[in-house]
Amino acid sequence: MNGDVVIDVQGLTKSFDGRVVVRDLSMQVKRGQIYGFLGPNGSGKTTTIRMLCGLLTPDSGHGTCLGYDIITQSVLIKRRVGYMTQRFSLWQDLSIRENLEFVARVYGLDKAKERVRTAIERLGLKGREEQLAGNLSGGWKQRLALGACTLPEPELLLLDEPTAGVDPKARREFWTEIHHLAADGLTVLVSTHYMDEAERCHEIAYIAYGRLLAQGTVDEVVAAAHLTTWTVSGEDLNELSEQLEKLPGIDMVAPFGTSLHVSGRDAEKLNRAIEPFRKDKRWRWKPDEATLEDVFIDLMSHAEDNF
């Protein structure tokens, strides 16, 4: 195995009750990468992450994680993985310090108290050590959970919607810490619904209805979509949107604040479709760059439901 590749899988497929949740997925993740998983609820993100690290056995496909076979050596993988779930899962009636010390004892870590002090300082929890976990705000609970799952010094960190319900300042601080961890060589897989968080990842994958529809850097994913985009502002945008959605050559119409993004995969057909509307003085049109959100809306509109 290439020492720079932490995850290398091919053809992963998983079904539950006869429904295919993940279909023929192949991907690679490099050491020290922050790899983002995006997609609607029920798209297969969590199932994919669990298969990648040996927490769930695929029906078919194969691959390695941290150099170990994801099917036959899953126990060895689990020992090297930190997993932070969306729901806070530590002990509410223990303090920050007590929670971390308990985790250290569970893992049999040497110099446990020293490790806990270091984690508390690194995560900005100093001065709050004796606060009960149940009394913490969402942002502080998030920091504590991150401290707990990184305390055993895992080689791979899994984050499942880690910033849901957390205020913007806490989210920014959380991502700063994630980048520090990645710079030290930790590989991070994170599922998120937030576009700004996706753009903080080194690479992203977009999954819908069990299929991997796009992967690469943000710039690569946007470029691969081949979307030509116009932004239009002015009066009666709801009426305009309804008219545009019916026209051939227009693949996506989406509201963005007080304007619409109008996109198409064939620039010539798109321009022909909008030409009559550009002559109407009620609306102001300008060519624009496709955003990551434009791409995801377009991908979702072309995805095939697996129900």
Boundary of a domain, candidates 164, 194, 217: 217
Same domain, 210 and 235: no
Residue 271 confidence (pLDDT) above 60:
yes
Specify whether the CB–CB gap between 33 and 184 falls below 8 A: no
* 175 C-beta neighbours (distance < 10 Å), count: 20
Domain annotation covers residue 222: no
DSSP 59: S
Domain annotation covers residue 23: no
Same domain, 190 and 270: no
**Owner of token pair 């056995």:** 57
Domain CATH code at residue 176:
3.40.50.300
Domain count along the chain: 2
Same domain, 156 and 192: yes
Specify whether the CB–CB gap between 192 and 38 falls below 8 A: yes
Q: Write 284-288 long-range contacts (CB < 8 A, 24+).
A: 284/232, 284/233, 284/234, 285/230, 285/231, 285/232, 286/230, 286/231, 286/232, 287/228, 287/229, 287/230, 288/229, 288/230, 288/231, 288/261
Same domain, 103 and 184: yes
Boundary of a domain, candidates 217, 238, 260: 217
pTM assigned to the model: 0.86
Domain that holds residue 45: 30-57+75-217
Specify whether the CB–CB gap between 228 and 264 falls below 8 A: yes
Domain annotation covers residue 66: no
Domain annotation covers residue 12: no
Domain CATH code at residue 235:
3.30.70.2070
What's the CA gap between 283 and 205, in Å, rounded?
A: 36
Same domain, 101 and 245: no
Same domain, 39 and 159: yes
Q: How much is the pLDDT for 44?
A: 87
Q: Please, what is the average pLDDT of the chain? A: 88
The helix (H) or strand (E) run that includes residue 141 is: helix 138-150
Q: Could you give the C-alpha distances from 169 to 126, 139, 156, 163, 192, in angstroms and in order?
A: 18, 9, 25, 11, 17
Mean of pLDDT values over 26-34:
93
Same domain, 125 and 239: no
Confidence of residue 136 (pLDDT cuts 50, 70, 90): confident
Structure tokens at 116: 């806990």
What's the gap between Cα 72 and its chain centre?
Answer: 27
**Owner of token pair 């496709």:** 290
Residue 31 confidence (pLDDT) above 90:
yes
Specify whether the CB–CB gap between 187 and 154 falls below 8 A: no
Same domain, 204 and 248: no
Residue 59 confidence (pLDDT) above 80:
yes
φ/ψ of 38, rounded to 5, equals: -125, 155
What's the CA gap between 283 and 189, in Å, rounded?
A: 43
Same domain, 166 and 257: no
**Owner of token pair 């091919």:** 10
Same domain, 171 and 276: no
Confidence of residue 304 (pLDDT cuts 50, 70, 90): low
Same domain, 176 and 42: yes
